[in-house]
Structure 1
Amino acid sequence: MSGGTGAAGPSDAVFSTALTELTGVRHPIVQTGMGWVAGPRLVSASANAGALGVLASATMTTARLRSAVREVKNRTDQPFGVNLRADAGDARERVRVIVDEGVKVASFALAPTKDLIAELKDAGVVVIPSVGARRHAEKVAAWGADAVVVQGGEGGGHTGEVATTVLLPQVVDAVDIPVIAAGGFHDGRGLVAALAYGAAGIAMGTRFLLTSDSTVPDAVKARYLAAGVTDITVTTAVDGLPHRMLRSELVTALERSGRAARLLRAVRHAAAFREVSGLGWTRMVRDGLAMRHGRELTWSQVLLAANTPMMLRSAMVDGDPRGGVMASGQVAGLIDDLPSCRALVDRIMTEAAGTLERLGAPPTGAR
């Protein structure tokens, strides 16, 4: 189940790690930038709880991103970050928003270029890419990244099949920058385990999605809470790349549909995403070229990529679990409640301190 011990008050447990020192947050916990989910309300609630909230920008226009950043700043005076798509044609415009607005952290779902890292660091922004392989962590560390999020196969992103418990120690041993563990974390025991492996903290997506501060509609949250571990699958049927998500009627139908039907759906979704994102067709084609070059995708995979944001929107924004897909880490099968971000973070820190006490270790100054 959730691994909790009931409602918790504000935790006195303080774990000073390289992550808290680097970003200025109180607790070594990151709320990841999930498209359509990590908006101003969730990010500010996470930040006010003492975690590093990360705003998801890929589904926003640059104007909406600036507005969202300002909304977060109106809701909290704590540090927070913005997640960017490194392969987006307007990535530098988004970097300018981050710099102009004084955002503390820039995170990336894919490895940013060396030049982009340098531009952010020159402006005093902390750069934290997400990776799913040791060689990628080594590359961004050599390019100057300040820290790295390492996501194992049980996470919600398509970062590979290697489990966190195998990938994390590999990366910790390979780089000399702070490593943040992602994939399978939801409680204080997991935080202690990550610290024991040498990580500087944990990053969680699904656990923050399933909070009362999340704007995901109740009907969709109910589907997550009802899911068991075996109800969460990896499929390539949405856009040709592996994604972990809840098994649903739509996922099954997509897996059974033919290639032509999937491509036709992708054309419709590409047109819809153009309207939502504010991108013109020229920019979308340039982004497609960048995706194809960076990941060696076929043109059909590039086109199918439009399926993902629009199918996620159907569930995460419109509240239609039958007509949309529900990205999920495997850990959803262990979660059974919807605490506030503050209650969740306090509970994790209290559990972590209790776990260390049982192990005979001090609850403060963990590194």
Structure 2
Amino acid sequence: MTTPLTELTGVRHPIVQTGMGWVAGPRLVSASAQAGALGILASATMAPDRLRAAVREVKSRTDAPFGVNLRADAGDARTRVRVIIDEGVRVASFALAPSRELIAELKDAGVVVIPSVGARRHAEKVAAWGADAVLVQGGEGGGHTGEVATTVLLPQVVDAVDIPVIAAGGFFDGRGLVAALAYGAAGVAMGTRFLLTSDSTVPAAVQARYLEASVRDITVTTKVDGLPHRMLRSELVDSLENSGRAAALLRAVRHAASYRKLSGLSWARLVRDGLAMKHGRDLGWGQVLLAANTPMLLKASMVDGRTDLGVMAAGQVAGLIDDLPSCAELVDRVMDEARHTLRSLSAVT
């Protein structure tokens, strides 16, 4: 199935595996890429040297195109961009809108730039700055999310920009892919669906929690880092929702110290990243400090398997997923379902 996404990136199928922190490592990314999707390596929780090693590991596993996801507001974003360019990575995706200068630097080196956005005006801005495509996530998506549903946000963005649009938030099968294409998208991006594969490194006990969840077991909270964050409801989430400000700040300081040690970042770099995060947002300093919770709380579940100590970012589609196929099986299934759906629609008169 050829679309502007497949033509732009060189992948076989119009499917993107999103760059989920602690989840989208070399094993999942290479399996997704080998299956014909666009695998995206999550780099925000990696030091630059580890990022370079991870990119090389993916390249050793597959010759297929893949991408790297960056935090545009990170103090070392330009260093990470240089790693992407030096290592010949095909795609750079961004969790936040990159600057005009970063886009130009990547494009001059032949890297495809695909920022993620949650609003039409953000899509218009990065398109004007030269982005090659844009990934738009509706409120159904996992992790940091907005309030506008994909079915409302997607057509808004498709009508507003003249670059390929990738739809995210609520997709898990071939019917969803066809629906996104009907709206004018060039493909779909899926996070939770790829997290729940046999190629995912997420511990089995954590995957079981996702598979057991109903759509009502997925909630949005601001208590993790001050921003709306969609995740599985758990005892810890309930505790965070009910905790006082002093306890929350103490927890944030503790996790910030752990993240600093793990990432190798200095306190000065963490402060600079906090300033970047605060810029342009109506966040108090307490909320900026709370943002230090996110990497370590996610790691506790996604790496260490401690659902009692960590949080589990999840799209609402987790409540509709009940199996763990390989990436190859998943992508083949989605494409078979999409072709079947298209044939069924062609019979409608």
How does the TM-score come out when normalised to structure 2? 0.99
Counterpart in the other structure of 1:233: 219
Task: State how 1:35-46 maps to structure 2 within 5 Å.
Answer: 35-46=21-32
Counterpart in the other structure of 1:223: 209
2:194 to 194, 208, 211: 208
Moved more, 282-291 or 146-155: 282-291
2:95 is the alignment partner of 1:104: no
2:347 is the alignment partner of 1:345: no
* Residues 242-294 of structure 1, C-alpha deviations (whole Å, 9 max, x = no match): 10000000000111110000000000100101011111111111111111113
Letter in 2 for 1:218: A
Counterpart in the other structure of 1:331: 317
Query: What SS does the aligned partner of 2:211 have?
Result: helix
Counterpart in the other structure of 2:231: 245
Query: What SS does the aligned partner of 1:149 have?
Result: strand
Counterpart in the other structure of 2:275: 289
Letter in 2 for 1:112: P
1:159 Cα deviation after fit: 3.1
Counterpart in the other structure of 1:5: none
Counterpart in the other structure of 1:305: 291
1:200 Cα deviation after fit: 0.1
Query: What SS does the aligned partner of 1:107 have?
Result: strand
Letter in 2 for 1:86: A
Query: What SS does the aligned partner of 2:188 have?
Result: strand
Counterpart in the other structure of 2:46: 60
Task: State how 1:4-23 maps to structure 2 within 5 Å.
Answer: 15-23=1-9
2:264 to 278, 281, 290: 278
Alpha-carbon distance between aligned partners in 1 of 2:280 and 2:263, rounded to the nearest angstrom = 21
Alpha-carbon distance between aligned partners in 1 of 2:178 and 2:103, rounded to the nearest angstrom = 30
2:105 to 111, 119, 142: 119
* Residues 92-118 of structure 1, C-alpha deviations (whole Å, 9 max, x = no match): 000000000000000000000111101
Alpha-carbon distance between aligned partners in 2 of 1:296 and 1:236, rounded to the nearest angstrom = 13
Runs of at least 5 residues in structure 2 that lack an aligned partner in the other structure: none
Conservation of the 8 A alpha-carbon contact between 1:151 and 1:182: yes
Letter in 1 for 2:14: P
Query: What SS does the aligned partner of 2:159 have?
Result: helix
- More contact order relative to length (CA 8 Å, sep ≥ 6): 1
* Residues 34-55 of structure 1, C-alpha deviations (whole Å, 9 max, x = no match): 0000000000000000000000
Conservation of the 8 A alpha-carbon contact between 1:131 and 1:159: no
1:160 Cα deviation after fit: 1.1
Query: What SS does the aligned partner of 1:294 have?
Result: coil
* Residues 208-260 of structure 1, C-alpha deviations (whole Å, 9 max, x = no match): 00000000000000000000000000011111111000000000011111000
Conservation of the 8 A alpha-carbon contact between 2:192 and 2:315: yes
Alpha-carbon distance between aligned partners in 2 of 1:157 and 1:127, rounded to the nearest angstrom = 21
* Residues 6-63 of structure 1, C-alpha deviations (whole Å, 9 max, x = no match): xxxxxxxxx1000000000000000000000000000000000000000000000000
Letter in 2 for 1:127: V
Alpha-carbon distance between aligned partners in 1 of 2:17 and 2:227, rounded to the nearest angstrom = 24
Alpha-carbon distance between aligned partners in 1 of 2:143 and 2:205, rounded to the nearest angstrom = 22
Aligned residues: 347
Alpha-carbon distance between aligned partners in 1 of 2:168 and 2:93, rounded to the nearest angstrom = 14
Alpha-carbon distance between aligned partners in 1 of 2:81 and 2:101, rounded to the nearest angstrom = 12
Query: What SS does the aligned partner of 2:231 have?
Result: strand
Conservation of the 8 A alpha-carbon contact between 1:239 and 1:306: yes
Alpha-carbon RMSD: 0.7
Query: What SS does the aligned partner of 1:245 have?
Result: strand
Conservation of the 8 A alpha-carbon contact between 1:315 and 1:324: yes
Query: What SS does the aligned partner of 1:359 have?
Result: helix
Alpha-carbon distance between aligned partners in 2 of 1:296 and 1:107, rounded to the nearest angstrom = 25
Conservation of the 8 A alpha-carbon contact between 1:185 and 1:331: yes
Task: State how 1:152-191 maps to structure 2 within 5 Å.
Answer: 152-191=138-177
1:299 Cα deviation after fit: 1.0
2:134 is the alignment partner of 1:148: yes
Query: What SS does the aligned partner of 1:295 have?
Result: coil
How does the TM-score come out when normalised to structure 1? 0.94
Task: State how 1:86-97 maps to structure 2 within 5 Å.
Answer: 86-97=72-83
Alpha-carbon distance between aligned partners in 2 of 1:257 and 1:217, rounded to the nearest angstrom = 28
Conservation of the 8 A alpha-carbon contact between 2:145 and 2:230: no
Letter in 2 for 1:40: P
Alpha-carbon distance between aligned partners in 2 of 1:284 and 1:127, rounded to the nearest angstrom = 26
1:69 to 47, 55, 62: 55
Alpha-carbon distance between aligned partners in 2 of 1:251 and 1:159, rounded to the nearest angstrom = 17
